[in-house]
């Protein structure tokens, strides 16, 4: 049934499959955001517990749930099999949406419990969705389209949430559940689309290696082989994740401080240009067939991203850049650096070193520590009662963390270059027989 959906000519079919897979993955994960991010639009003005704003407590609760699922996902995603993935998505999404229903029904501060429950299943969905598209010659393009759903969907679902509150008079308490209700039918359709994506071809596997579940021994071997490089990668991603996640969670607060609090469309006006720019940059990597050249270039892209975030924030603090321009530039820099680690950095790493495994395992290691950093920053701000506005605290943090990110990314580039030279001295390409056998996994 799958073959009838696509043309038979190899090149034409590959492009068509890539476009279809990109659309299916993008739309699916964009819908996931409807169950994750809308509540951040609600400010819960004046509601505080233990001296901490209720909004901050809710964000921390959900992020802790998300972070916990990332640690659990290191094993869960690594061992994920291809059969019945749609059932896992259906169960996880149902739990997340039901948690939003209970969030609407219970009074503060008990909503914290249900946002923790909401965050845990949602944290596993990225690895499942990405498993449908990894290990292909066109994964750079498909993964980039999937990853920019972070940017577009965050702004889009927040605009929907804001519209529900302003135009339909939905309360802050019920708005997250109502936003999820809008996306139930689309979510079902998009998951069915995912299931129709064809398997990787023989040529895909030759170019990008076999993608298979990783058992405990395989994971330990990989971590031992690339330990120092992965530490440097996690440091870079750790700081990118903190900066990106705080911007995403407190965008409404930042726009309020900048004077745009009543403009529902401001989220889309800034995030759509960022989405398009990042998509062009990332998807262009598909033109580079040599995996090591692409892997090096990704490092340089991340370095440029840290420079952009740091310099734009410094200019904003110096009064040489207005708020809207700063939000666009810092967002462009953050997502240009953040998205490679969620889509193509580990994809190319596995391809360069011919590892039989899956990308999700590596993404979840980085994500787990990244979200731990986000929780830590938010807790420290409240524990030490830092009273600075987000429009002051955040850009200063971005400048500082960008410097650290530059150093760790340069270290990662040096490490993997040396590792590659050692690998080339004992190169052992995958045989055609092994490739064909992998298709029956």
Q: What is the pLDDT of residue 290?
A: 87
Give the number of residues written for the chain: 441
- Are the CB atoms for 92 and 124 separated by under 8 Å? yes
Secondary structure letter of residue 48 according to DSSP: E
- Are the CB atoms for 153 and 182 separated by under 8 Å? no
Q: Tell me the C-alpha to C-alpha distance, in Å, between residue 353 and each of 51, 57, 209, 212, 292.
A: 50, 42, 9, 15, 9
pLDDT at 147 over 80: no
> All domains of the chain, ordered by start, with CATH?
3-438 (1.20.1250.20)
pLDDT: which is higher, 185 or 346: 185
The region of weakest confidence among 43-47, 70-74, 113-117, 433-437 is: 433-437
* For residues 230-244, average pLDDT: 87
DSSP conformation letters of 229-250 = HHHHHHHHHHHHHHHHHHHHHT
- Are the CB atoms for 395 and 313 separated by under 8 Å? yes
Q: What is the pLDDT of residue 2?
A: 43
**Rounded to whole angstroms, how far apart are CA atoms 315 and 128?**
40
Which tokens in the block code for residue 344? Answer: 């193509």
pLDDT, tens digit (0-9, with 9 covering 90-100), for 181-208:
988 999 999 999 999 988 887 777 777 6
What is the crossing angle of helices 345-352 and 390-425, to 10°?
A: 10
Residue with structure tokens 């039989």? 356
Residue 357's DSSP bridge partners are: 211
The region of weakest confidence among 40-44, 391-395, 417-421 is: 40-44
Which tokens in the block code for residue 395? Answer: 């850009």
pLDDT at 235 over 60: yes
Q: Is the pTM of this model over 0.75?
A: no
If one counts every other C-beta atom within 10 angstroms of the C-beta of residue 254, the result is 20
Task: Compute, in degrees rounded to 10, the torsion defined by CA atoms 223, 228, 232, 234.
Answer: 20
**Close Cβ partners of 272 (under 8 Å, ≥ 6 residues apart):** 152, 155
pLDDT, tens digit (0-9, with 9 covering 90-100), for 385-399:
766 777 888 889 899
Torsions phi, psi for 322 (to 5 deg): -75, 170
Kindly report whether the peptide bond that precedes residue 93 is cis, defined as omega within 30 degrees of 0.
Answer: no
Q: What is the pLDDT of residue 97?
A: 94
**Rounded to whole angstroms, how far apart are CA atoms 290 and 78?**
26
Kindly report whether the peptide bond that precedes residue 32 is cis, defined as omega within 30 degrees of 0.
Answer: no
**Rounded to whole angstroms, how far apart are CA atoms 106 and 109?**
8
DSSP conformation letters of 312-327 = HHHHHHTTSS-HHHHH
Q: Which of 290-324 are b and which e, b meaning 16 or more Cβ less than 10 Å from the residue's Cβ? A: ebbebbbbbbebbbbbbbbbbbbbbbbbeeebeee
The region of weakest confidence among 135-149, 188-202, 255-269, 342-356 is: 255-269
3-state secondary structure labels for all residues of the chain: CCHHHCCCCHHHHHHHHHHHHHHHHHHHHHHHHHHCCHHHHCCCCCCEECCEEHHHHHHHHHHHHHHHHHHHHHHHHHCCCCCCHHHHHHHHHHHHHHHHHHHHHCCCCCHHHHHHHHHHHHCCHHHHHHHCCCCCCCHHHHHHHHHCHHHHHHHHHHHHHHHHHHCCCCCCCCHHHHHHHHCHHHHHHHHHHHHCCCCCCHHHHHHHCCECCCCHHHHHHHHHHCHHHHHHHHHHHHHHHHHHHHHHHCHHHHHHHHCCCCCCCHHHHHHHHHHHHHHHHHHHHHHCCCHHHHHHHHHHHHHHHHHHHHHHHHHHHCCCCCHHHHHHHHHHHHHHHHHHHHHCHHHHHHHHCCCCECHHHHHHHHHHHHHHHHHHHHHHHHHCCCCCCHHHHHHHHHHHHHHHHHHHHHHHHHHHHHHHHHHHHCCCCCCHHHHHHHCCC
Name the average pLDDT for the chain.
82
- Are the CB atoms for 116 and 65 separated by under 8 Å? yes
């Amino acid at each position: 049934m799958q073959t009838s959906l696509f043309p038979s000519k190899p090149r034409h079919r590959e492009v068509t499959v890539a476009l279809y897979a990109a659309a299916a993955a993008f739309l699916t994960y964009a819908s996931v955001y409807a169950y994750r991010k809308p509540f951040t639009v609600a400010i819960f003005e004046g509601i505080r517990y233990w001296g901490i704003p209720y909004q901050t407590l809710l964000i921390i609760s959900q992020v802790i749930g998300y972070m916990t699922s990332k640690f659990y996902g290191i094993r869960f995603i690594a061992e994920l099999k291809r059969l019945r993935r749609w059932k896992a998505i259906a169960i996880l999404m149902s739990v997340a949406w039901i948690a939003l229903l209970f969030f609407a029904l219970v009074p503060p501060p008990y909503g914290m419990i249900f946002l923790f429950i909401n965050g845990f299943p949602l944290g596993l969905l990225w690895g499942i969705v990405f498993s449908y598209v990894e290990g292909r010659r066109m994964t750079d393009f498909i993964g980039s389209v999937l990853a920019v759903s972070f940017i577009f969907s965050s702004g889009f679902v927040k605009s929907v949430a804001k519209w529900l509150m302003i135009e339909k008079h939905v309360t802050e308490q019920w708005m997250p559940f109502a936003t999820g209700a809008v996306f139930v039918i689309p979510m079902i359709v998009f998951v069915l689309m995912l299931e129709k994506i064809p398997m990787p071809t023989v040529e895909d596997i030759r170019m990008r290696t076999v993608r298979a579940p990783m058992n405990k021994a395989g994971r330990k071997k990989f971590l031992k082989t690339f330990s120092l490089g992965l530490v440097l990668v996690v440091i870079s991603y750790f700081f990118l994740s903190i900066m990106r996640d705080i911007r995403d969670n407190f965008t409404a607060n930042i726009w309020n401080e900048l004077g745009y609090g009543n403009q529902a469309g401001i989220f889309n006006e800034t995030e759509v240009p960022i989405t398009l720019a990042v998509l062009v940059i990332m998807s262009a990597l598909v033109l580079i067939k040599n995996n090591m050249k692409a892997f090096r270039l990704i490092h340089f892209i991340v370095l440029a991203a840290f420079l952009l975030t740091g310099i734009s924030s410094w200019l904003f603090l110096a009064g040489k850049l207005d708020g809207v321009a700063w939000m666009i530039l810092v967002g462009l820099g953050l997502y240009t650096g953040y998205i490679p680690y969620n889509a193509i950095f580990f994809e190319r790493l596995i391809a360069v070193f011919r590892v039989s495994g899956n990308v999700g395992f590596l993404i979840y290691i980085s994500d787990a520590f990244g979200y731990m950093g986000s929780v830590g920053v938010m807790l420290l701000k409240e524990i030490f009662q830092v009273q600075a506005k987000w429009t002051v605290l955040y850009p200063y943090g971005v400048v500082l963390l960008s410097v650290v990110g530059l150093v760790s990314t340069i270290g990662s580039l040096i490490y993997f270059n040396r590792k590659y030279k050692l690998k080339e001295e004992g190169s052992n390409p995958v045989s055609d027989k092994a490739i064909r056998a992998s298709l029956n996994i």
